[in-house]
Amino acid sequence: MPQPGAALLVVAVLLPVSASALCFLAPRLARAIAVVVALVLALTVVLLAVQLVTHGPLEYRVGGWGAPLGIDLRADGLTVFMLLAAALTGLPVTVYGLSYFPASGAAGGFWPLWMLLWGALNALFVAGDAFNLYVTLELMGLSAVGLVALAGSSDALGGAMRYLLMTLTASLIYLLGVGLLYHRSGTLDLALLGTSLEGGATTWVALGLMSAALLVKSALFPLHFWLPPAHSSAPAPVSAVLSGLVVKATIYLLLRLWLDVMPPGKAGLGAALGGLGAAAIVWGSVQALRQSELKLLVAYSTVAQLGYLFLPFAIDPAHAGVAWRGAAYFVLCHALAKTAMFMTVGNLQKLGAGAHLGELQHVARQFPVSLAAFGIAGVTIIGLPPSGGFLAKWLLLQASFGAGQWWFAVVVLAGGLLSAAYVFRVVGLAFVEEGTRARGDVAPKGRTSAAEWITLAVALATVVLGFTAPLMLGVLDVGEPFGQPSGEPLSEPGGAP
């Protein structure tokens, strides 16, 4: 008996994929198609969340066969939470793209590629099959490469090439792991693997290969070598999606494998991941502080912020549930904050202000809206109240105190301080009024563009997320994705972290 509403899972994949084909077929209509589809897609995801909350976890059998012969799509709270994150980021990026990309020219390739990337993200989130995930990884990686190359500069082309080689190699390593798992257990279905998989050489080598591949794709320090060149040279809306969603999709997949597939005996691996996450936070933040180009600063900030998502792997399993809820909320807040930051960079570049930190002076007076957006997004990145970022970090701290792992809290707090340093460095420079103008030909303050207002709206959304947490976490908890009853109500944050 098919569940009512489960078909929305496949709709969330087919809609953007067909939109991509239509954008290619009718380039003149591409912009209109993309905006309409983005709206419908957002609505679909909201409906899906309603279905999930009323009916519990959803399952859809593509082709009607069912696992192990066919391919199943599944959704629990975490799945829908990620779909929501994609929609909340994707919608403003689509609207922003309208003003960022000219109506004609080679940049028209943005629309079909972006729709396909969105489709790949959704397909990855709902997939319940290890090989199907390989195909979605390739779809995601290749569309991301095409989007990076769109910028056309030699930096962007080099970044795209490096990205391509990375993503192809990592996908093949992932596929090898999937193949070995299949030959070990006779199924590709993640849920069946989770119940039937036994330890042993083949299993651990296979899971090791898959994890390593996903770590490279997620740019976990020290495997982040490909991220700054690609993320800093891509067009601004593309950088936003890459930093906000694409790297997190592979962390999501890693978490799925960790929670649903890996047999017990993985504490050592978890500790290693947590340790690398902590190193990423410190190293990435220091690198961000050292940058002289705004876009590279934001890109290294991503390397640092991704570290937080690996900390919960190292938390005592009894308390990991709280940490994972914090990490999931962090994904959402960081996606929006990074989107606002990259949009700010895009605005400054479009309006003729330098992307170089040295040229930032006077920017505050010329582009007050963009700068305000950057500052507000910075509040979430630092993790100050009342932003969503504060709440996410609060949950992480709560888990670390609960588990008695104090080093974890130290890293979270240190990361907050370091990010405060680089955010204030940018905002501070922008407000400098005295001194000689680096460039006399900077345009005087004009009308605030639509793109700037969108940027501000996205930044403000990160603040709104600080107040909508009970609702969002209610969706997240459906089906208990983190494997333990989340009976305890969300405790109100009492003081500053």
Partner 1 sequence: MSRAPSRAVLWLLLLTLGGGLGWAVLSLPPVAQGLGEQVRQHLQVSGVESPVTAVLLNFRGYDTLLEIAVLALATVAIWSVATMPRRRRGLAGPVLVFFVQVLVPFMVLLAGYLLWSGSHAEGGAFQAGVVLAAAALLVILAGAPLPAGAGGWPLRVGLMLGLLVFLGVGVLVTTTGRNFLELPPAWAGGLILMIEAAAAISIGASLALAFRGGRPRNARAGS
Partner 2 sequence: MTVAFLYALSGVALFVLAFHALVSRRHLLHKIMSVNVMGSGVFLIIGALARRTPTADPDPVPLALVITGIVVAVAATALGIVIMLRVQAATGRPELPPADRN
Interacting residue ranges for partner 1, rule: CB under 8 A? 2, 7, 10, 14, 17-18, 20-21, 24-25, 27-28, 30, 60-65, 68-71, 103-113, 116, 119, 123, 131-132, 135-136, 138-139, 142-143, 145-146, 149-150, 162, 165-166, 169, 176, 180, 182-184, 186-187, 200-202, 205-206, 208, 225-226
Nearer to partner 2, 58 or 227 (CB): 227
290 binds, among partner 2, partner 1, none (CB under 5 to 8 A by kind): partner 2
Q: What angle do CA 160, 165, 166 make, to 5 degrees?
A: 95
Nearer to partner 1, 110 or 394 (CB): 110
State in angstroms the smallest separation of the CB of 314 from partner 2: 29
Nearer to partner 2, 155 or 480 (CB): 155
The Cα 274–Cα 314 span in angstroms is 5
Of the candidates 406, 391, 418, 199, the residue with the CA atom closest to the CA atom of residue 300: 418
Residue pair 72/40 in contact by the 8 Å Cβ criterion: no
223 binds, among partner 2, partner 1, none (CB under 5 to 8 A by kind): none
The two three-digit tokens of residue 162, written as one number: 């490096």
The torsion region of residue 189 among left (phi > 0), alpha (psi -120 to 50) and beta comes to beta
Nearer to partner 1, 123 or 397 (CB): 123
Binding site for partner 2 (CB under 8 A): 131, 134-135, 138, 142, 145-146, 149, 153-155, 157-158, 160-162, 164-165, 168-169, 172, 175-176, 179-180, 182-183, 188, 225, 228-229, 287, 290-293, 296
Match 């670390």 to its residue by tokens.
Answer: 400
Query: Which burial class, exposed, middle or buried, applies to 120 when counting CB atoms under 10 A from its CB (0-12, 13-18, 19+)?
Result: buried
State in angstroms the smallest separation of the CB of 140 from partner 1: 10
Phi and psi at residue 189, in whole multiples of 5°? -75, 130
State in angstroms the smallest separation of the CB of 490 from partner 1: 37
* Three-state secondary structure call for residue 482: coil
Nearer to partner 1, 56 or 186 (CB): 186
460 binds, among partner 1, partner 2, none (CB under 5 to 8 A by kind): none
The per-residue DSSP string of 307-369 comes to HHTTGGGGS-HHHHHHHHHHHHHHHHHHHHHHHHHHHHHHHHHHTT--SBGGG-TTHHHH-HH
Residue pair 342/306 in contact by the 8 Å Cβ criterion: no
Nearer to partner 1, 104 or 154 (CB): 104
296 binds, among partner 2, partner 1, none (CB under 5 to 8 A by kind): partner 2
State in angstroms the smallest separation of the CB of 290 from partner 2: 7
State in angstroms the smallest separation of the CB of 224 from partner 1: 11
Nearer to partner 2, 230 or 322 (CB): 230
Nearer to partner 1, 27 or 402 (CB): 27
The Cα 392–Cα 476 span in angstroms is 13
State in angstroms the smallest separation of the CB of 431 from partner 1: 37
Those residues whose C-beta lies under 8 Å from the C-beta of residue 102, and which sit 6 or more positions away, are: none
Query: Which burial class, exposed, middle or buried, applies to 441 when counting CB atoms under 10 A from its CB (0-12, 13-18, 19+)?
Result: exposed
Of the candidates 77, 74, 126, 80, the residue with the CA atom closest to the CA atom of residue 478: 77
State in angstroms the smallest separation of the CB of 315 from partner 1: 28
State in angstroms the smallest separation of the CB of 211 from partner 2: 17
